[in-house]
Amino acid sequence: MKQEKVKGKVVNAKAKRAKVKIILVLAMPAVIENFFQTILGFVDTYFVSKIGLAEVSAVGVTNAVLAIYFALFMAIGVASNVRVANALGAEKPERARHIAQQSILLSVIFGILTGIITLFFAAPLLKLMGIEANVLSAGETYLKIVAIPSIFMSLMFVMSANLRGAGDTRSPMKVSIVINIVNGLLDYVLIFGIWFFPELGIVGAALATVFSRLVGTMVLLYYNQRSPVLSFKKQFWQPDKQHLWELTTLGSPAAGERLVMRVGQIVYFGFVVALGTNVFAAHQIAGNVEVFSYMIGYGFATAATILVGQQIGAGKKGEAVLFAKLCTWLAVGFMSILGAVLFFLGNWAGGFFTDDPKVIQNIGTALKISGVFQPFLAVLLILTGAFQGANNTKFPMYLTAVGMWAIRTVLVYLLGIRLGWGLAGVWVAIGLDIAARAIVLTVKFKKGNWMKLEKIREVESECHPQTTKETMSGTANNY
How much is the pLDDT for 383? 95
Residues 76 and 66: their CA atoms lie apart, in Å, by 16
Closest of 175, 173, 154, 155 to residue 27, by C-alpha: 173
Closest of 388, 83, 87 to residue 244, by C-alpha: 83
Q: Residue 330: phi, psi to the nearest 5?
A: -60, -45
Residues 472 and 476: their CA atoms lie apart, in Å, by 6
How much is the pLDDT for 470? 35
How much is the pLDDT for 427? 93
How much is the pLDDT for 435? 96
Residues 303 and 375: their CA atoms lie apart, in Å, by 18
**10-residue stretch averages of pLDDT, the chain, 479 residues long:** 48 78 88 74 72 75 78 83 83 83 89 92 78 76 90 91 87 89 87 78 86 93 85 67 71 72 74 81 81 83 89 87 94 93 83 80 89 95 92 87 90 89 91 96 92 50 40 35
How much is the pLDDT for 354? 76
**CB contact burial 248-261 (16+ within 10 A = b; e otherwise):** eebbebbbbbbbbb
How much is the pLDDT for 98? 82
How much is the pLDDT for 384? 93
Q: Residue 276: phi, psi to the nearest 5?
A: 120, 155
For 306, residues 6+ apart whose C-beta sits below 8 A from its C-beta are 26, 81, 85, 164, 165, 167, 169, 389
Closest of 374, 368, 348, 372 to residue 438, by C-alpha: 374
Per residue, the 3-state secondary structure of the chain, as one string, reads: CHHHHHHHHHHHHHHHHHHHHHHHHHHHHHHHHHHHHHHHHHHHHHHHHCCCHHHHHHHHHHHHHHHHHHHHHHHHHHHHHHHHHHHHHCCCHHHHHHHHHHHHHHHHHHHHHHHHHHHHHHHHHHHCCCCCHHHHHHHHHHHHHHHCCHHHHHHHHHHHHHHHHCCCCHHHHHHHHHHHHHHHHHHHHHHHCCCCCCCCCHHHHHHHHHHHHHHHHHHHHHHHHHCCCCCCCHHHHCCCHHHHHHHHHHHHHHHHHHHHHHHHHHHHHHHHHHCCHHHHHHHHHHHHHHHHHHHHHHHHHHHHHHHHHHHHHCCCHHHHHHHHHHHHHHHHHHHHHHHHHHHHHHHHHHCCCCCCHHHHHHHHHHHHHHHHCHHHHHHHHHHHHHHHHCCCCHHHHHHHHHHHHHHHHHHHHHHHHHCCCCHHHHHHHHHHHHHHHHHHHHHHHHHCCCCCHHHHHHHCCCCCCCCCHHHHHHHHHCC
